[in-house]
A and B are shown apart, each in its own frame.
Chain A
Amino acid sequence: EAGVAQSPRYKIIEKRQSVAFWCNPISGHATLYWYQQILGQGPKLLIQFQNNGVVDDSQLPKDRFSAERLKGVDSTLKIQPAKLEDSAVYLCASSSGQFYGYTFGSGTRLTVV
């Protein structure tokens, strides 16, 4: 089966600019996650979707981050305006809902200068 697709792979922007990341999960996976991984740390959950509804967004900085999952398939994560501390790898993962079904994409490395 095809994996979780993410784009772009790399992005460099200036602070206060906006940026968007795209994720296409594995077909049929109802649950989609966005994680932020700062250099030297483990991934931290930003938001979890079940189909097109939000399950958990408690750690999403809602003043600057937004995410949507239209039609319960693809998802977009946006940052506006970006700050220097947003420099990180943004990982998307999807799950069939069962404990063995977490599959990760290759991530987007964001550098804010």
Chain B
Amino acid sequence: AQTVTQSQPEMSVQEAETVTLSCTYDTSENNYYLFWYKQPPSRQMILVIRQEAYKQQNATENRFSVNFQKAAKSFSLKISDSQLGDTAMYFCAFTLSGYALNFGKGTSLLVTP
């Protein structure tokens, strides 16, 4: 079974600063996909960024980037220039092709003025 671990239950960052959220996973497969989702109080899961395991280049989406370390099974999310609207729960998720997403327990991020 694939497991996803987020070791930081809560984090706080000041506006305009940079914060990194950690995620590790466990799998014996070689081809898989990793995601970071944001869940604001509205409850809707919003895709932040995704990474295919066979791609060595780290994914980036505007202020969001990942540090994907396949050998270490690590997939951290870096948020640059944090904004108040980034306050939310962040979930790391893993999937194999054709299967459902397997989520971590989440990290609650608070961006303060």
Give the complex CA separation of A57 and B64 in angstroms.
34
Binary CB contact string for chain B from 71 to 113 against chain A (1 if under 8 A, 0 otherwise): 0000000000000000000010101011111111110000000
Chain A interface size, under 10 / 10 to 19 / 20 to 34 / 35 or more:
20 to 34
Q: Which chain B residues lie closer than 8 Å to A42 at the CB level?
A: 4, 91, 93, 103-106
* Interface pair B47/A102, CB less than 8 Å apart: yes
Give the complex CA separation of A99 and B35 in angstroms.
10
Give the complex CA separation of A91 and B4 in angstroms.
19
* Interface pair B45/A48, CB less than 8 Å apart: no
How many Å from the CB of B75 to the closest CB on chain A?
Answer: 14
Give the complex CA separation of A33 and B52 in angstroms.
21
Binary CB contact string for chain B from 26 to 54 against chain A (1 if under 8 A, 0 otherwise): 00000001010000001111110010100
Instruction: Give chain A's interface residues, CB within 8 Å of chain B.
Output: 33, 40-45, 48, 55-56, 89, 91, 93, 97, 99-100, 102, 104-107, 109
